[in-house]
Amino acid sequence: METAYFSSLSVFPAAAAAGKNVRPLCVARPGRRGFAAGAGSSNGGKSGGGCAGVPNSNYVVPLDKATSSLARPLNEILRDLNKRVPDKIIDTADNTIPWYHTNRMLSFYAPGWCGEVRDVRFSNYGTVTVVYRLTVRGSDGEAHRESTGTVSVNDGQLDDPVAAAEELAFCRACARFGFGLHLYHED
């Protein structure tokens, strides 16, 4: 089992600062290509903040008028996101939840959610950091959570460091809503 230390920008900065071992909700895995569900999307050639040409993986679950579950109050959605994740979708090799299962369960519990990449920053130290915002909408309002994901650009095991950083940021934003938090604590 792999134990990770999160940086001070992580979901649990106090635990990382104290030197405690915390388990990651998602990890960047070698060979990961893209993050977006469905066909690839791009930023449409728009330049913004020096991120021209960086793939944009905004994904929105289509709103259907016949879907009655969209009328759920936000507190019910947040309560459901804090439920224990079924063991069968947890990757036992490193005790994480793959991003595609996170995406699917988010769509189940919070239909109409949306996410966006807010910023992509390349550092002089050979890392890329992605800031991701996740929005959950309920009948009585909406809630946002943002988080970051940072990976090394020089890591030869990653096909796309930006997509890997986005995957980490997405999963950490989900954890800020309470999704999969039981993985961070010993039973």
End-to-end CA distance of the chain: 15
Q: Please check whether residue 10 lies inside any domain of the structure.
A: yes
Q: Please check whether residue 32 lies inside any domain of the structure.
A: no
Q: How far apart are CA 46 and CA 63, in angstroms?
A: 26
Q: Please check whether residue 91 lies inside any domain of the structure.
A: yes
Quickly state the pLDDT bin for 70 (edges 50, 70, 90): low
What confidence tens digit (pLDDT) does each residue in 35-47 have?
Answer: 333 223 333 333 3
Give the rounded percent of residues in the chain with a pLDDT score beyond 70.
61
What confidence tens digit (pLDDT) does each residue in 116-126 have?
Answer: 999 999 999 99
The pLDDT of residue 95: 85
Q: Please check whether residue 106 lies inside any domain of the structure.
A: yes
Q: Please check whether residue 65 lies inside any domain of the structure.
A: no
Q: Please check whether residue 176 lies inside any domain of the structure.
A: yes
**CATH number (domain holding residue 167):** 3.30.390
Q: 123, 102, 106, 124: which is closest to 114 by C-alpha? A: 106
Better-predicted residue by pLDDT, 113 or 186: 113
For the segment 135-154, the average pLDDT, to the nearest whole number, is: 94
The pLDDT of residue 122: 96
Residues 6+ apart with CB under 8 A from 97: 25, 26, 85, 89, 90, 91, 171, 180, 183
The tokens of 155 are what?
Answer: 């890591």
Give the rounded percent of residues in the chain with a pLDDT score beyond 90.
45
Based on the structure, what is the number of domains in the chain?
1
Better-predicted residue by pLDDT, 185 or 63: 185
Domain that holds residue 168: 1-26+70-187
pLDDT at 112 over 60: yes
User: 147, 169 in Cβ contact below 8 A?
Assistant: yes
Q: How far apart are CA 110 and CA 104, in angstroms?
A: 10
The pLDDT of residue 26: 53
pLDDT-wise least confident of 1-5, 105-109, 118-122, 140-144: 1-5
Q: How far apart are CA 31 and CA 92, in angstroms?
A: 19
pLDDT-wise least confident of 55-64, 131-140, 152-161: 55-64
Give the β-pairing of 114-122 and 141-152: unpaired
Q: Please check whether residue 47 lies inside any domain of the structure.
A: no
Q: Please check whether residue 54 lies inside any domain of the structure.
A: no
Q: Which residue has the tokens 């050639």?
A: 45
